[in-house]
Structure 1
């Protein structure tokens, strides 16, 4: 049983440092200055980070054929190369990099994220077949902690933009080397719900998220070293989970009977809801109408939220807000809880959440984002910026978490690694379309002679359009709910 938890702990560690693309706003302005590029070209660099996901399906194929530890090392090596060379460029150690060199390096770095994500998802899904929703939810929520970790680490050092790139290169490599021995699939036959191990993990996760949010809301009250030390301690705590499980098993002998009952009941649930009995290959999936509706729902929800966060540095700068690092940290902390709560609710209120389709849940999380964008149009105050960033962070994080369940529900688990990477290929497409359009409007809003756009007009039209897209996403989620309902009825 301990091997189950060690695999989940490995996934937690991997995910906690795998949100390197969320750090882009922290060093984007420095890249723009050194490369002497326009806002449109800068946005294309943000797109490049997401463009690596277009090749994310390769990691799914590799995970089906190679040991998971090797898949991890490949992903960390790609990240170390992509971010490491960019760090040397910003540090003045390399002088001959062109814009297109940086673009390609950013694509490679962005692709590395897919490899680590794939291993994390597979560990959670295969090691806990009866509790995969909460296992995936716990591990994937820690991606929302990444920007918080990197921001605190850089603040301890020197708070320089290039340090983000250095940490982006070395943190995932260290974590992958540490987690590689734990990335083995265990015999999942003993998995069950409401065991001491999951209760311990849930408590630790909630405390970790609360700590991240609290230290983001009062950034100057706690020294960065204390924040980083607190997060490190909380990441070590899950190692106590196997011990908690063993103690519970020793005390409660009747668990053996309860396990058998749980397995029988949940096996029926898995067959009914998550589509374990079906195997839909990628080529067949992309020919189905519900896939493309699902694709657009994600595009107008989680992807749009990511585009906003990628542009957060320029948005804050144009509005005269100087706390860019605190905004990145805030979005990270709220994204953490956004990713975690859907799984938490499903775990404890499964009878109620069973009646709510993943499609309707995604639509419910897209609607508040519409209000967040319209709030930015109405109010130019920093309070509105911080509030909207928190809302976008928690909603886009929730959609990302829910989509993992939606992919399993619609297309099964056998080809999950490839199928889900095909879905998230909409992220670079949305990053390019939405981001470039925002950059063009930003350029149009500049006053002659100004290098950067200043004032609320820079993103006003962009926020109106993004808000409208969120409305469209909510409507499409309703359509997907109807199509999903019909599919369930046929099963």
Structure 2
């Protein structure tokens, strides 16, 4: 009974250290300095981190043919190589790396994230057939904790100069996922828990633990010096261990149900039928759409564009957060990265909370509508950045983008399953997220060109609100378009849903 819970805890641990791409703003300025590259070339390195997702479908194919533990170890090995060699370069152990060598290594490291994500998604989806959205939401919320974990670990080292901090981020990005994957590999097995009832006590326990963990992350991000760095890191480590009590909580409920069933005469068939329909699923459960057929469907391309003008745009903003903060005269780059991570944590958890508490409602909001509603606040965040250069606008907008990106990322996993089924989920979802490198290249390079145009003659870097003002206005308008396309997707999917009833 405890095996599937341990698998979910393993997925939570894996996700908590798998957001290594969110560390890029923390060391990007040093890469720019050492490689003597332009802002446009630096942005292409940010694109390279996302470009690994173009080959993310390979991890989905591998997961269908190889044991999950082996898929996990392959992914961690790719990350260790990609980030590890870059660390050796910054540390002066390797002196012959060119810009294109670093570009390739960044692609390799970015691809490693897909392998670990694929294993985590499959564990949550297949081990919890009646609670997929809840299990996926809880586990993926821990990706939002990644930047907080890495920032707290670097803060413990108390590195004073930017180069030392950059090296520490890269070393941790190489080593920590490898250690976690080796530790979690024995737990990454699928378990058949049946479909007789929803697992209430375990998820309530996880909701409480996750909410407290997120609250701790947000509080220590909003007030950076409230606790010593060692206390912050120790607190996060303790909260990561706490989910191990979940099997015990579910076991207690299971015993109570056995006693209750002994005392009452129930109709087992009625109970099973009632619980089996409680997921409130999508029409994707009735069909399984292979990848080649999926990319020929109109709803896929609508979905693709909604994601492109929503979370992908937000990720481009977060990738450029270091340069954005510097151009506005803000020195709190690490605190901004930590803040975006903490709010992303809650954003990823929010859809699961809503799904859990409103699962019996007769008027459930479609995932397409939820994606559109969650994209809308990002429009306001970008417009706020365009009209105000105050620090409060930067912090508020970063928090809004973090929570919205996290929520849409969580919702999208259920959307892919509902639209195209579960059998080919690993490949289908990785094809969808290939829009991330495309958006990173298009939106990021456009922002870099405007940044370059805003420089004053003789200055190496652009300083002032003009550097990103036009960019923010355009990004805000694209978010509006994304929200409208989500409504179109809702109408189209509702028609398909009605036709299949």
1:424 to 416, 429, 433: 433
For 2:419 and 2:473, the matched residues in 1 are separated by 32
For 2:439 and 2:275, the matched residues in 1 are separated by 37
Q: Offset of 1:355 from its aligned partner?
A: 2.4
Tell me if the contact between 1:302 and 1:396 (Cα under 8 Å) persists in the aligned partners. yes
Corresponding residue for residue 209 of structure 2: 204
Tell me if the contact between 2:311 and 2:408 (Cα under 8 Å) persists in the aligned partners. yes
Corresponding residue for residue 218 of structure 1: 223
For 1:258 and 1:82, the matched residues in 2 are separated by 57
Q: Structure 2 length as normaliser, TM-score?
A: 0.96
Matched, 1:402 2:411: yes
Tell me if the contact between 2:44 and 2:441 (Cα under 8 Å) persists in the aligned partners. yes
Q: Offset of 1:463 from its aligned partner?
A: 0.1
Say which is worse superposed, 261-270 or 478-487, in terms of deviation.
261-270
Q: Offset of 1:270 from its aligned partner?
A: 5.2
CA deviations 1:243-285 (Å, max 9, x no partner) are: 1111222234256669965642343355852522211000000
1:163 to 163, 168, 171: 168
Corresponding residue for residue 369 of structure 1: 378
Tell me if the contact between 2:124 and 2:132 (Cα under 8 Å) persists in the aligned partners. yes
Corresponding residue for residue 287 of structure 1: 296
Corresponding residue for residue 319 of structure 1: 328
Aligned length, in residue pairs: 491
For 2:91 and 2:397, the matched residues in 1 are separated by 34
Corresponding residue for residue 105 of structure 2: 105
CA deviations 1:442-465 (Å, max 9, x no partner) are: 000000110100000000000000
Corresponding residue for residue 128 of structure 2: 128
Matched, 1:246 2:255: no
Corresponding residue for residue 26 of structure 1: 26
CA deviations 1:284-314 (Å, max 9, x no partner) are: 0000000000000000000000000000000
Counterparts of 1:229-240 in structure 2, within 5 Å, are 229-240=234-245
Secondary structure at the aligned position of 2:393 is classed as helix
Say which is worse superposed, 112-121 or 247-256, in terms of deviation.
247-256
Q: 1:196 to 1:435 in 2, by over 3 A?
A: same
Secondary structure at the aligned position of 2:189 is classed as coil
Tell me if the contact between 2:47 and 2:437 (Cα under 8 Å) persists in the aligned partners. yes
Structure 2 residues not aligned, in runs of 5+: 160-164
Secondary structure at the aligned position of 2:194 is classed as helix
Corresponding residue for residue 119 of structure 1: 119
Matched, 1:12 2:21: no
Q: Offset of 1:191 from its aligned partner?
A: 6.4
CA deviations 1:307-330 (Å, max 9, x no partner) are: 000000000000000000000000
Q: Offset of 1:57 from its aligned partner?
A: 0.2
Q: 1:262 to 1:136 in 2, by over 3 A?
A: farther
Matched, 1:463 2:476: no
Say which is worse superposed, 72-81 or 355-364, in terms of deviation.
355-364
For 2:12 and 2:272, the matched residues in 1 are separated by 25
1:480 to 489, 494, 497: 489
Tell me if the contact between 1:130 and 1:263 (Cα under 8 Å) persists in the aligned partners. no
Structure 1 residues not aligned, in runs of 5+: none
Q: 1:270 to 1:220 in 2, by over 3 A?
A: closer
Corresponding residue for residue 195 of structure 1: 200
CA deviations 1:72-106 (Å, max 9, x no partner) are: 00000000000000000011111000000000000
Secondary structure at the aligned position of 1:18 is classed as coil
For 1:388 and 1:202, the matched residues in 2 are separated by 26
Q: Offset of 1:172 from its aligned partner?
A: 0.3
Secondary structure at the aligned position of 2:468 is classed as helix
Corresponding residue for residue 177 of structure 2: 172
1:268 to 264, 269, 277: 277
What root-mean-square deviation, in Å, do the aligned CA atoms of Structure 1 and Structure 2 show?
1.5
For 2:197 and 2:171, the matched residues in 1 are separated by 41
Tell me if the contact between 1:270 and 1:276 (Cα under 8 Å) persists in the aligned partners. no
Q: Offset of 1:348 from its aligned partner?
A: 1.0
For 1:269 and 1:466, the matched residues in 2 are separated by 39
Counterparts of 1:291-302 in structure 2, within 5 Å, are 291-302=300-311
Q: Structure 1 length as normaliser, TM-score?
A: 0.98
For 1:258 and 1:144, the matched residues in 2 are separated by 43
Tell me if the contact between 2:84 and 2:174 (Cα under 8 Å) persists in the aligned partners. yes
